[in-house]
Each structure stands twice: as structure tokens, then as C-alpha cells.
Amino acid sequence: MKIKEGFMLRTVAGQTIVVPVGSAAVSFNGMISLNESGAFLWSKLSEENDRDGLVKALLDEYDVKRELACCGVDMFLKKLREAKLLDE
């Protein structure tokens, strides 16, 4: 799975956000904000990846327990699915 085309990630005044551009703006009217790990996972999903790949990437980057990493990844994927941003 990966993130759909047409979404731009930027940091504005210290806050990382995602906005649609081009045709994506027609179906997605809002904006999503991401915390630090969310922004990290977003970058890992700009290419094809899967849930386990994301968990591994998070564990490599951050000093956290596996349970917490899984929880973080699942919550992140849930948020993207709800906003219909994921191409699976």
C-alpha cells in the first residue's frame, strides 16, 4: 500500500500538515495534521510498503517497545484509511 497521489506534506509554523493539490483537492477538502512519528511514517509510505515494514521502520528510528510501535502504526493507518488517503 502507499499514499494516494496529489497530497503535499509541509511544515508550517512548526506544525506538519498534509493538504491536497490538483485533482485530489476535488475529493478531499480538508487538511490533516501529523505529529513527529506520523510525519515519519508518511515518508515511509510515499513508496510501496506494508504494515510490518512500517513497524520495523519505526523501531529502527525510535527507541520504543514493539507494542507501542504497532499501536502507533495501526492508529496512523486507521487515520489515513478514514480520510481515504491510502491506495491498497
Partner 1 sequence: MPNNIKVVKEKYRIAGINTGIISRKDWIIERQARPYIAEFEGVPDIICAVDDKSLTEKSSNFPMLTIQECEYMWTGEQFCRQLLGFDGFMLHSSAVVYKDRAYLFSAPSGTGKSTHTGIWQRVFGEENTYILNDDKPVIRMIDGQVYVFGTPWSGKTDQNRNAGVLLQGICFINRAEKNQINKIDTKTAIYKILNQTIRPDGADKMTLLLDVLDRVLQKSAVYEMGCNMTDDAAITAFKGMNGVL
Closest CA to 36 of 66, 15, 52: 15
22 binds partner 1 (CB under 8 A): yes
CA quadruple 64, 9, 52, 68: dihedral, nearest 10? 30
Would you call 50 helix, strand, or coil by DSSP? coil
Task: Report the C-alpha gap between 70 and 51 in whole angstroms.
Answer: 9
Of 27, 31, 68, 78, the one binding partner 1 by CB under 8 A: 31
Q: Which stretch binds partner 1 (CB under 8 A): 15-23, 39-47, 55-63, 73-81?
A: 15-23
Q: Considering the complex, what minimum distance in angstroms separates the CB of residue 29 from partner 1?
A: 9
Q: Considering the complex, what minimum distance in angstroms separates the CB of residue 63 from partner 1?
A: 26
Pairing mode, if any, of strands 7-12 and 15-20?
A: antiparallel
Tell me how many residues contact partner 1 (CB under 8 A). Answer: 15
Query: Site residues (CB under 8 A) for partner 1?
Result: 8, 10-15, 17, 19, 21-22, 25, 30-31, 33
